[in-house]
Amino acid sequence: MSDWSLSKLLEGLHDDIHQRLETSRKTFAHASTKGDASENVWLDLFQKYLPKRYQAEKAHVVDCKGMFSQQMDVVVFDRQYSPFIFNYENQLIVPAESVYAVFEAKQSIDAGYVDYAQKKVQSVRNLHRTSLPIPHAGGTYPAKPPVKIFGGILSFESEWSPAMGIPLKEALLEDEGCLSFGCIAAKGYFHYDEHLKEYNFFIGGKPATAFLFKLISELQFSGTVPMIDVLSYSKWLNI
């Protein structure tokens, strides 16, 4: 018999995230330092555990019309088919076509933070995305409609008690469906069901691990990003 325990492995993944977020909250005195530490914990989770077709980084998103999103704490994007637009001295800009999901990460969640995250997610979703027909051995597949970009909010704690109660639900309904996911690592996570048009809330357990698995499942079903029209960006070269 093996001494390994799958349940303990999965519990350990959540416990590690929980402990790192809690340590950041207790240890760092400066708010911006706490924020940076929190972002790094979530980024590390995505970078280690998402399939390699996805990459997660802090980044801006741009479209071929020259419009930019606000900087996002976590951008999950394609690295199999899409190029970088710019990558220099830790400043990363990715094309809108390559984006699967964007997240905002803070130490604690409240109504103002939900509203802030909703606006930032929309700044990415509002960008223009190209899509080219896909050649194959027997001809050409039609251009694929762009996938819906998932948007989410990540935190360690909540300013509400209970954390997953009516105030959170009311804040989410101010822009229903804008935030596809939310994880409060110390309390639970939520997910927006696109088919039922409603939020599902999961309280307790090991939220960080449960959220990660739900995200991976949703990414699997969303398919692959469309074939980017790379030349549509070249018009900005003025040549």
Pick 163 or 88 by higher pLDDT: 163
Report the pLDDT value the prediction gives residue 102, as an integer from 0 to 100: 98
Q: Is the dihedral of CA 193, 60, 13, 157 positive or negative?
A: negative
Nearest to 64 by CA among 123, 127, 124: 127
List 34, 106, 120, 214, catalytic entry: 106
Residue 201: both structure tokens together: 């809330």
22 is catalytic: no
Q: Is residue 19 part of a domain?
A: yes
Cα 57 from chain centroid (whole Å): 10
Split into its structural domains, the chain has a count of 1
Ranking 13-27, 99-113, 211-225 by mean pLDDT, the lowest is: 13-27
Q: Is residue 222 part of a domain?
A: yes
Work out the number of other CB atoms within 10 angstroms of the CB of residue 164. Answer: 22
149 pLDDT band (50/70/90 cuts)? very high
Percent of the chain beyond pLDDT 90? Answer: 61
Distance CA 227, CA 145 (A): 10
Q: Is residue 150 part of a domain?
A: yes
Distance CA 223, CA 145 (A): 11
73 is catalytic: yes
List 39, 73, 97, 218, catalytic entry: 73
Q: Is there a contact between 185 and 208 (Cβ–Cβ < 8 Å)?
A: yes
Q: Give the pairing of strands 150-155 and 181-184.
A: parallel
29 pLDDT band (50/70/90 cuts)? low
What single letter denotes the amino acid at residue 127? L
Q: Is residue 168 part of a domain?
A: yes
Q: Is residue 201 part of a domain?
A: no
Q: Is residue 1 part of a domain?
A: no
Range of 230's domain? 6-193+206-237
Distance CA 133, CA 140 (A): 6
Report the pLDDT value the prediction gives residue 31, as an integer from 0 to 100: 65
List 39, 97, 104, 218, catalytic entry: 104
Mean pLDDT score of the chain:
90
Radius of gyration of the chain (CA): 19
169 is catalytic: no
Q: Is residue 76 part of a domain?
A: yes
Q: Is residue 200 part of a domain?
A: no
Report the pLDDT value the prediction gives residue 134, as an integer from 0 to 100: 82
Q: Is there a contact between 187 and 158 (Cβ–Cβ < 8 Å)?
A: yes
The burial of 166, by beta-carbon neighbours within 10 Å (0-12 exposed, 13-18 middle, 19 or more buried), is given as exposed
Report the pLDDT value the prediction gives residue 9, as an integer from 0 to 100: 87
Average pLDDT of the segment spanning 58-86? 90
